[in-house]
Amino acid sequence: MKPAPAPSASALSWRRWWRSAGFAWAGLRRTWSTQPNFRIEVWLGVVASGLCLALRVSPAPVLLCCGLVLGLELVNTAAEALTDLISPEWHPQAKIAKDAAAGAVLVASIVSVLVGLAVLLPPLAALIRPALSSQP
Ligand SMILES: Nc1ncnc2c1ncn2[C@@H]1O[C@H](COP(=O)(O)OP(=O)(O)OP(=O)(O)O)[C@@H](O)[C@H]1O
């Protein structure tokens, strides 16, 4: 069969991009509304980034960690949904899939907490130390 004539490449790619962005946004909204952990991670990221700005340190490492944790939480949500679809009954392979996906979020979260402490503790200590040393 003869392929359909290609429409204007730029118009097509912009329309496709908006369509894909809409689907991605729907995935984000769905994860936000169904996953309490995702909401907690977003708010922790907002607080940590705000602290970076208030303490005048670069928020780049914290933002990178936020992206990693939130991205993996989205992948974990996708893995859970697919596992439930494929294996609604208990199955050892389904357990491996769900536990490994959850483990990925846990590893990223632990590393993120360590990065947050490494970035925020020195300026916080520098802020608190003079106040403590000036006390009689
Ligand atoms: N179909 C299944 N077969 C085997 N084990 C399962 C199955 N469904 C869930 N489990 C086990 O139960 C655990 C929790 O599963 P569940 O789907 O409730 O994930 P969850 O992390 O609690 O999800 P949510 O973040 O949505 O609360 C999984 O990590 C896995 O060990």
**Residue nearest to ligand 1 atom 25, measured at CA:** 35
102 phi and psi angles, rounded to 5 deg: -65, -35
Q: pLDDT-derived band of residue 7, with 50, 70 and 90 as boundaries? A: low
Q: Which ligand 1 atom is at minimum distance from the Cα of 84?
A: 1
Domain ranges, ordered by start, for the chain: 41-133
What is the torsion angle, in degrees rounded to the nearest 10, for the CA atoms of residue 123, residue 127, residue 128 and residue 130?
Answer: 130
Rg (CA), the chain: 22
Indicate if 73 belongs to the active site: yes
Q: Which fold has domain 41-133?
A: Helix Hairpins (1.10.287)
Tell me, what's the pLDDT at 4? 61
Please give all residues whose beta carbon lies within 6 A of any atom in ligand 1, as ranges: 35, 80, 87, 90-91, 94-95, 98-99, 102
Tell me, what's the pLDDT at 132? 79
38 vs 99: CA distance, rounded Å = 17
Tell me, what's the pLDDT at 88? 96
- Is residue 3 over pLDDT 90? no
